[in-house]
Amino acid sequence: MIRFLPVFLCCSALLYGAELPCLSPLPVLTGKPGHPGWKKAARYDFPQKDTYALIGRSKTHLYIAVRSSHGSINDRIATMTAHDSPVYMNDCLDVFFNTTGKKDYYQVIANTNGTVCDLRTMPDGKQDLQWDSGAKAAGSYGKDSFYIELAVPLAAFAPMDKGFAMMINSYQRWRLKGVRILGQAHRPDTFTRFELKEAYPVKLLSVDAPAFSGLRTFSYTLENTSSRKLSLTGSCGGSPVSMTLAPQEKKILKCPVRLDSTRLNDVTLILKENEQEILRVTRLLKVRKALEVSLKSDIIYKGEALPLLIKVNEPQTEPVLVEYQDGKITCSYKDEKASFSCKTIPSPWD
Amino acid sequence: MKKSTLILPLFLLAAALSAQEKCLMFGGKVPANRIARFPGFTYVSDKDPMVHKKSITRPWNYSPGGAAMSSGNKGSLPADALLEHGIAFHQGGLTVPWKGKKAVVRLLLGDWFQGWKRLNKNKPLILLAVNGKDVIKSTMSKENAYKAWGKLDEYVFSRKDSIWDRLVKPVLSEETVELDNINGKIEFKFNNILLTAILIAPDKAALEKTAARVETLRRKEFAKRYPWQPRPDEPMPQAAKGKKFIVFQKHGLDVIYPWSRPADKEVTDTIKVFAAKGEQELFRFGILPLQDMPELFVKVGDFSGPGGRISTASNADFWRERYKEKGSEKMSGLITDMRKLDPQSYVLQENKPQNGEKGTPRMYTLDLRVPDKTAPGLYTAPVAVYSKGKLAGSFKLLLKVLPFSLQYKGSASFNFQQADMIPWASWMRGYTKESIRKELEKRCGFIAKYRFQNDYFCPWGYGYPFRYGTIVGKPGERRFTQTPAQAADMDWWFKKAAAQNHSGACLVKASYFMLNMGWSHQNLFKEIYGRKKITPQRMKEWDTDLKDIERIIGQLTKLFRAKGYPEPYWYYAGELDNMGVRGVQEGVRIGHLIRRAGGTSLVTINGPLAARATPAVYDHIWANPAAPITEKLVADIRKHGHKFGCHNCGDSRFQAGFHFWRLGAVARHQETIFYTSYTGPLFYLPWNYNTAQVYPAMDGSDRPTLNFLNYRDGRDDYLYLFTLENKIKQAKADSPACKNARAFLAQLKKKIHFDPRSYHVEGFDAEEGTAEVNSAEWNSMSIERYRWHIAQLIMALESEK
C-alpha cells in the first residue's frame, strides 16, 4: 500500500483545486483599482514586478482583476472598441477556461476600454467566435500600469464536475509579450483547477440564432446531464421562461425575441433551479434587415431601369413598395424602409 | 458447411493476395501522430531500411496552420491522406523485397505543395529507373520547369469533368512499369523524383484493381474534406430562344462562373467601350453555346473610324479566358469556404480554338491600347465566330475614342514588390548574367507596358550575378567602392532598365543592396522579429554597423544624384509593428540616420506604434489599413512636410482607383500582384497561396490575368479623377463646368469612406493587405457610369477653353 501512496497524492492534487473566496460586498466594475468589493479576493502574483491578479466569486459570477505594470506607458495600445474585435492586439487581460478536462477551452479577452472578445476553441483547434460569455469588463491606464477587471457569469461555461480550470495572461502589445499565472496559454492540461460547490446539470448542445431583424425565434437544444428531474425557471431575451427536463432528457427551448438590425442585440437565456443560476447563454449578435435593398449604381443612364437589388429575408407576406421621384428612391416593406438618391446622366451611346 | 470453416479459407485467400501486393506511401520520419494513414498502405520514411543509406532526400509532412508560401509543406489540407507526405529524392534509391518473378509497378509522383521547387536544380538529371529499366530520363531546364509548373495550360475547362479530375488528379503523375525475372527484390533508382506512393502487383489486372480501389478511396476522402458542389445554372435569357449561340457583353469586374447566364440586356451584337486617347481599355464578351460548338474560335479584325485604322495586331492583346478556382488569398492558403472552389473565368490565355461546350460560357478579352494620336469618334471592328473552321456567326466591337488624354505626369506611382523579382524557374541551371538581365528587362517591360512603375523593384541580394559595387574596410570604417564593370552594371539597371519610371525615384532596400556589394551585415530587425535576446556586445556591433550604413548611404546618395539616377528612397525595415516597440524604436533610429546621411527615407507601417512614431521622422510613410489609415494619420504625416503612400491597401479595382484617389496618396505599393512563385506546385490549382495577378506563360514570360487588368483599370479610374482635378486647376474658377466638376468631386469625397477597413467584407491580413471588398456600391456598373460622368466633366472643361 505504501508504494502507491505518492501516486495517490499526485492524483488528488490534480483533481482537487482551491476554492475561490466569495466576495461581499460585490465588486462594482469601475475600471479603477480600490473598490472595497475586491478586499476578500485571493491574490496571485505574476512573475513581473507589481503585477498581480485578484480573483473571487459571487453566487453567479467569477470576478478577476489584473493590475499590470507597463514597461513603456507611452506605447500603450487600446484601439479596439467593438465586441469580438481583435482585442488580443491591444494591451489586454486574456483569461482561459476549461470545464471539460479535454482539449477545448474558452477565452475571455478584455482591454482597458472594457471591450471584450470571447471565443471557444474546439478540441480540433477550430475557433468559434459566436460563443459569448456575457462577461463585463472595465479598465484604465495608470502612470506606469494598466488595470482591467472582469465579471464572468459562471453558468456561461456550465462547469462540469463541480469545478473548472483557468489560467491568466496579461499581455503588453508594445513588447509583443505577456506574463502569465496558473498555467500556459492554449494548453488546458496546464490550467489550474478551482472548485465550485454548485452543480450545473444542464448542458447546451446547440443554439439556432436568427440572422434577420423582426420578431424571430431562438432555439436552444438543452440536455439534462443529471439523473434527477429538473424544474427550471428563468428568462430569455427579458421574457420569462420555464421548463422541465427529465433525467438525461434533451429538449429544444424556443424563445421569441425581437431583433433590431441597427444595433448589437444582446439575447441572454438564463435558467435557474431553485434560484441557482445553472445555465446562461449569451449571444451578442448583429442581424441583417428583413428587407435588404442595394442600389447597384447611384448614377444611371437616361431610360435605364433602376438597378435595385431587393431581397426579403423571410417568407414574403406583403409586396415591397418602390417610390421614385426627383432622383429619390424609397423602398418599403412592413415597417422597414430603405432610401437612396440617384442621378441620371446621358449614356455615351445616345 | 459451418460458417467458421467458410470464413477461414476466405481469410487465408485474402492474406495470400495481399502478400502478393504492396502499397507503399512515403514521408519523413516523424512521430506516429503526424502520419496520416491511407487504408491498405505501409508508411515508409526516409530512414526506412528499404531506402538506400546514401540517398539524399528532402521528405515532407503536412502540418496544419502556418503559411503555404513560407515552407511549402503547409497550406490547404491535402485532398487525401496519400498527399499529406512524400519524399523528394535528390539522389538515391529504394529496394523493395519481392517474392514473385514478375511484377507491375506504378509510381505516383508529385506533391501537393511545391513540386519542382523541392528538387535540386544544381544536379539537373531527372531519372527514374526500376531494376535497371529507365522509366523517366530527362534534364531539368527552364523550359520543362515552366511546363511542369503550368501543367494544365492546355486544359480547357469542361463541366463534364468532376472537381477531383480537375483539381486533384493532376497533382500526381503516374508511371507504370512491367518487370520480369525479378530476383527477390525490386530496385528503384531516383534522381530528382518526388515520390508519393508506389503500388506493386503480380500482374496488370491486379494492379489496375488495386489502383481503382485506391482512386475510389481517394475520391471519397476528398469529397469528405472538400464537399464542394456547383451552383445550379442561372436562368437563360429570353434572347437565347432559337439560337445556336448568344454573344453578350460583360465588364472586367463581372464574375463569370460556368453556370452564369447573361441578362437579356447584356445579349448583344455590338460590344461597346469608351476610352481616352492613349488609354488601355478592355472589351470583354462571352459566347454561350446553346449547342456544342467544337473547335470554337474567335477572330477580331482591325478597328476603323474617323482617324483611319487601328490595328488590333499591334495595339491589342486578344485573350481567351480560362476558368480557374480562385482559392484562398490568405498567406496560409487555407480553403475554408467551399465557394472559393467555384471556377471563375479570369485566367488569360493565348487565343486558340477550344471546345465550345453547350451551356458553358466561353469568355474573351480584347485589351486595346488606343494610340495616343487617335482622332476622337466611333470606331468599329468586326468579330467572326468559327466552329470547326466554319463561320458560325459574327458581331462587332464599337469603340468611342474621347477627345482627351489621361494625365500621367505628376500622378501617383503604382508599384509592386516583385517577390522573387523573376519567377523561380528563371534560375534553372544554365542561367547566366545575361539571361537574368534579360528576364529582369522583360519584367520591367511588362510593368511599363501597363504603365505601372518598377520603382520598388530591387534586383539585388542573394544570387544576382552582378554587383553594383564593393564595400570595403574594417567595422566602423566601411565604405563603398566601385570598379568600372560594377559602374556599368549600375548604369544598366538605374539608367536603362529602371529608367522607364515616371516617378523619378527608386526604392533601395539598403541591407540587400549592401549584401550585393559583399557586406552581409546582421540585420538587427530580424533578431527583434525572431524575439532573440540582444546582448550588450551585439548592440555594440550594431551601433558600429549603423555608423557604416550611414556613411555608405551618404556616399551612394551622392553618387545617384551625380549620375542622374532616380532619387533613391532608402528603405531599411518595414511593417515595424510586427516587431513591437523595439522594432519601431530601431526603425526611428534608422530614419534619423538616413536623414543625417542626406538621403530620402521610406518606411512601411502596419500598426499603431509606428503610426505614432514615424510621421515626424521619415520622408515617405507608406501605411497599410492596419496602421490604421485615418485622416489624422495622413494629417500628421503632412504636418511634417512628409509624404503619405499606400502599402498593401488591397488589390481590387475600387481600392486601386476611387478609394486610392480618396486617400490622396503619392504612391501605391501592392506586394502581392507578382507573387507567382508561391503558386505551387501547379499555378492552375487553387490549393496554396493565391494572390498573384500575373501568371507565367509557358515560355517564361509574364501573362496578365483579368484581375491584373482590373487593377490597371482601377489605376485608370484614379487617373480619370486626377486628370479632372488638373483640368479644374487650369479652368476659370467661376465657370459653370468648373463649378459642376468641383461639386461632383466634393460629393464623391463625401461618398467614399476614408478608412479602407470600412470596405472589407472579411478579416484583413495586415501583412499581405488582402481582404475581400464589398461590391454592393462599387461594382462594374457603378464604376463604368462614374467614369463616364467624369469623362463628361473633363470634356465640358475642355470645351470651355
Query: Is B585 an interface residue toward A (CB < 8 Å)?
Result: no
Contacts of B782 in chain A (CB under 8 A): 296-299
* Distance of residue A124 Cα from the nearest chain B Cα, in angstroms: 11
Pairwise CA distance, residues A320 & A291, whole Å: 8
List, edge to edge, every strand of the sheet that includes A321-325.
A321-325, A328-333, A336-341
Interface predicted TM-score (ipTM) of this complex, two decimals: 0.89
* pLDDT above 80 for B158: yes
Within 13 Å, how many C-alpha atoms sit on residue B206's CB side? 18
Amino acid B71: pLDDT: 52
Amino acid B12: pLDDT: 39
Mean pLDDT of the B276-294 span: 98
Inter-chain CB proximity B786 and A301 less than 8 Å: no
Mean pLDDT of the B62-67 span: 70
Inter-chain CB proximity A348 and B272 less than 8 Å: yes
Query: Is B777 an interface residue toward A (CB < 8 Å)?
Result: yes
Amino acid B13: pLDDT: 36
Residue A296 is nearest to which of B64, B65, B781, comparing CB atoms? B781
Return the percentage of chain B with pLDDT > 90, whole number. Answer: 79
Identify which has the larger pLDDT, B195 or A128.
B195
Inter-chain CB proximity B609 and A75 less than 8 Å: yes
Pick the most confident of B284-288, B412-416, B420-424, B772-776.
B284-288
Residue B400 is nearest to which of A75, A79, A348, comparing CB atoms? A348
* pLDDT above 70 for B617: yes
Task: Count how many pairs of residues, chain A against chain B, have C-beta atoms within 8 Å.
Answer: 57
What is the pLDDT of chain B when averaged over all its residues?
92
Pairwise CA distance, residues A133 & A146, whole Å: 23
Pairwise CA distance, residues A208 & A204, whole Å: 11
Burial B560-569 (b: 16+ CB within 10 A, else e): beeeebbebb
The amino acid occupying position B537 is Q
Contacts of B785 in chain A (CB under 8 A): 297, 299-301, 345
**Beta carbons of A259 and A214 less than 8 angstroms apart:** yes
What chain A holds in terms of domains, given with CATH numbers, is 14-195 (2.60.40.1190), 202-285 (2.60.40.10), 291-345 (no CATH)
Residues of chain A short of pLDDT 70, as ranges, are 1-16
Residue A299 is nearest to which of B65, B579, B785, comparing CB atoms? B785
Question: For A3, which DSSP code?
Answer: G
Going by C-alpha positions, the residue among A157, A168, A259, A245 that lies closest to residue A214 is A259
Helix (H) or strand (E) holding B633, with range, is helix B631-639
**Beta carbons of B599 and B570 less than 8 angstroms apart:** yes
CB count in 10 Å sphere of residue B212? 10
Q: How confident is the model at residue B261 (pLDDT cuts 50, 70, 90)?
A: very high
Identify which has the larger pLDDT, B501 or B99.
B99
Inter-chain CB proximity B781 and A75 less than 8 Å: no
Return the percentage of chain B with pLDDT > 70, whole number. Answer: 95
Going by C-alpha positions, the residue among B293, B437, B446, B452 that lies closest to residue B362 is B293
**Beta carbons of A310 and A331 less than 8 angstroms apart:** yes
What chain B holds in terms of domains, given with CATH numbers, is 18-225 (2.60.120), 244-405 (2.60.40.10), 413-796 (3.20.20)
Q: How many residues does chain B have?
A: 801
Contacts of B786 in chain A (CB under 8 A): 297, 299
pLDDT tens figures, B366-394: 999 999 999 999 999 999 999 999 999 99
When scoring B785, B786, B794 by the number of chain A Cβ atoms within 10 A, the one with the most, hence best to mutate, is: B785
Inter-chain CB proximity A176 and B579 less than 8 Å: yes
Pairwise CA distance, residues B646 & B618, whole Å: 14
Pairwise CA distance, residues A29 & A31, whole Å: 6
Amino acid B459: pLDDT: 85
**Beta carbons of B603 and B624 less than 8 angstroms apart:** no
Going by C-alpha positions, the residue among B463, B512, B517 that lies closest to residue B489 is B517
**Beta carbons of B200 and B26 less than 8 angstroms apart:** no
- Which of these ranges, B14-28, B552-566, B610-624, B730-744, has the smallest mean pLDDT? B14-28
Residue B581 is nearest to which of A72, A346, A349, comparing CB atoms? A72
* pLDDT above 90 for B288: yes
Amino acid A13: pLDDT: 33
**Crossing angle for the helix pair B736-751 and B780-800, nearest 10 degrees?**
150
Inter-chain CB proximity B788 and A173 less than 8 Å: no
Query: Is B377 an interface residue toward A (CB < 8 Å)?
Result: no
Q: Chain A residue with minimal CA distance to B776?
A: A296
* Distance of residue B32 Cα from the nearest chain A Cα, in angstroms: 18
pLDDT tens figures, B756-789: 988 987 766 655 666 677 888 999 999 999 999 9
pLDDT tens figures, B308-353: 999 999 999 999 999 999 888 777 788 888 999 999 999 999 999 9
Query: Is B789 an interface residue toward A (CB < 8 Å)?
Result: yes
Inter-chain CB proximity A77 and B608 less than 8 Å: yes
Amino acid B18: pLDDT: 53
Mean pLDDT of the B407-416 span: 94
Amino acid B765: pLDDT: 63
Q: Chain A residue with minimal CA distance to B583?
A: A175
Contacts of A301 in chain B (CB under 8 A): 785
Contacts of A72 in chain B (CB under 8 A): 581
Pick the most confident of A147-161, B192-206, B430-444, B566-580.
B192-206
Residue B785 is nearest to which of A125, A174, A301, comparing CB atoms? A301
* Distance of residue A171 Cα from the nearest chain B Cα, in angstroms: 12
Q: What is the DSSP annotation of A74-86?
A: GG------STTS-
- Decide: helix, strand or coil at residue B104: strand
**Beta carbons of B129 and B418 less than 8 angstroms apart:** no
Query: Is A72 an interface residue toward B (CB < 8 Å)?
Result: yes
Mean pLDDT of the B625-645 span: 96
Inter-chain CB proximity B531 and A298 less than 8 Å: no
Pairwise CA distance, residues B297 & B385, whole Å: 6
Helix (H) or strand (E) holding B152, with range, is none
Residue A307 is nearest to which of B65, B582, B781, comparing CB atoms? B781
Pairing type for strands B362-369 and B316-325 reads antiparallel
Residue A349 is nearest to which of B64, B272, B608, comparing CB atoms? B272
